[in-house]
């Protein structure tokens, strides 16, 4: 018996993937418990403190998704573009530093956002969403929120350099794959495809949420509004494990081995 740890998965890509899934659990925890509670209660009321807590956890998840996808893009870039130097460049120390930065950056950015938000007095108490969203909460403000809005745009603008690096890294990866042997090309694309799917689904969901929150029409049916507003909380956490599990052979082999072992034990 090998125990609960799978040594073959102790590689930078799978460690990054583990952190990505942990971050997805964080995002799910920020939404589903309160959503289920409101489904079972007669009134949909959330306390002032819990509203800001939910915003902090949710935005930490959103920014964490962005930073972890960037670290994973860097890992794939080094592995495919500099394969002979990979073990030298992507050491455990460097990986842990990158992952620490990927966790601490969202926490710092969200902490500053919280400072801006809690200092704003509110004159209303009703938001038109299934969860607390900073933009909708700030619409209830009694005072000018220009500083808060500017910081919010800066936070979204911080996505641009990270997204640009990801695009750059994949241009380089595709360039190498085009010049490589067919078998090497296939293996490289197999490891990159889940990451690309995660990246596209996440950025499309966040971009839609950003555009709709600020410029969306109030004529949209409320049910459709609710569904689209929670897309970034549902799509990545649900589909990422499926996408990675089906495409990455080591994960698929480990899952099938665990399922077959459990089946033998039950019988």
| Burial letters 154-168, b for 16+ CB under 10 A, else e | ebeeebeebbeebee
Least confident of 48-52, 58-62, 180-184: 180-184
Q: Which two tokens stand for residue 96?
A: 């842990």
| Fold of the domain spanning 8-266 | Rhopdopsin 7-helix transmembrane proteins (1.20.1070)
Predicted confidence (pLDDT) per residue in 187-196, tens digit:
666 667 777 7
- Predicted pLDDT of residue 212: 67
pLDDT level of residue 264 (50, 70, 90 thresholds): very low
Least confident of 79-88, 162-171, 175-184: 175-184
Please compute the mean of the pLDDT values over residues 128-132 and round it to a whole number: 80
- Predicted pLDDT of residue 222: 65
- Predicted pLDDT of residue 220: 63
- Predicted pLDDT of residue 67: 93
pTM of the model: 0.81
pLDDT at 156 over 50: yes
pLDDT at 115 over 60: yes
Average pLDDT, the chain: 78
Q: Which residue has the higher pLDDT, 61 or 139?
A: 61
- Predicted pLDDT of residue 107: 93
CA 251 to chain centre: 20
Beta-bridged to residue 141, according to DSSP, are 122
Least confident of 57-71, 111-125, 183-197: 183-197
Q: Which two tokens stand for residue 89?
A: 């460049």
Contact 137, 91 (CB under 8 A): no
């Amino acid at each position: 018996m090998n125990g609960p740890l799978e040594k073959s998965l102790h590689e930078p890509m799978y460690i990054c993937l583990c952190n990505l899934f942990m971050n997805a659990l964080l995002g799910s925890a920020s939404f589903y418990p309160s959503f289920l509670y409101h489904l079972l209660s007669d009134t949909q009321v959330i306390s002032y403190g819990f509203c800001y807590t939910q915003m902090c956890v949710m935005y930490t998840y959103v920014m964490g998704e962005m930073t972890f996808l960037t670290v994973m893009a860097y890992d794939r870039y080094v592995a495919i573009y500099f394969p002979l130097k990979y073990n030298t460049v992507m050491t455990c120390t460097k990986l842990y530093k990158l992952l620490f930065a990927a966790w601490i950056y969202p926490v710092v950015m969200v902490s500053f956002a919280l400072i801006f938000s809690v200092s704003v007095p509110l004159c209303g108490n009703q938001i038109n969403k299934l969860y607390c969203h900073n933009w909708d909460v700030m619409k209830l403000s009694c005072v000018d929120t220009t500083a808060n809005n500017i910081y919010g745009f800066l936070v979204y603008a911080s996505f641009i350099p990270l997204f640009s690096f990801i695009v750059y890294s994949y241009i380089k990866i595709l360039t190498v794959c085009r010049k490589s042997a067919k078998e090497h090309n296939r293996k490289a694309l197999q490891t990159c495809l889940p990451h690309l799917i995660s990246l596209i689904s996440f950025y499309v969901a966040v971009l839609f949420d950003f555009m709709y929150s600020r410029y969306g029409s109030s004529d949209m049916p409320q049910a459709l509004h609710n569904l689209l507003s929670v897309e970034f909380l549902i799509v990545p956490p649900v589909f990422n494990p499926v996408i990675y599990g089906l495409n990455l052979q080591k994960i698929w082999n480990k899952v099938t081995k665990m399922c077959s072992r459990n089946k033998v034990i039950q019988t």
